[in-house]
Amino acid sequence: MGCLLAIGAVMAPRAAIFLVWLARPNLFDAAFGGIVVPLLGIAFLPYTTLVYVLVFTPGVGIAGGDWLWLVLAFVADIFHVTASVADRRYTTGWRNV
């Protein structure tokens, strides 16, 4: 199951977040406490949100090597956005301004 989640997270991070939320809603409650921050994270930083939920430890938070995973997820989000913007040039019907 862990390998399937990893493959799914790379291919569709928002779907993986939804599956984690369905399987373990307590993780989201412990990590965020509210609904606004996870929704913004899912919309703008899906990889970072998914990794944050998976590495967050209730009572401790984020410590040690967990920061490395968060930084890598943030870099993946930035690369994903920049690749999407760069790919728009080759989309039919997209105007270059």
Does the pTM of the predicted model rise above 0.85?
Answer: no
pLDDT one-digit tens code per residue, 23-67: 988 888 899 888 898 899 899 999 999 999 999 988 888 988 999
pLDDT one-digit tens code per residue, 59-95: 888 988 999 999 999 999 999 889 888 887 777 666 6
In whole angstroms, give the CA distance from residue 52 to residue 50.
Answer: 5
Taking 3-state DSSP, the helix, strand and coil percentages for the chain, each rounded to the nearest 5, stand at 75, 0, 25
Instruction: Name the residue with tokens 């390998």.
Output: 3
* 11 or 44, which is more confident: 44
Give the DSSP letter string of 45-85. -HHHHHHHHHH-BTTTBS-TTHHHHHHHHHHHHHHHHHHHH
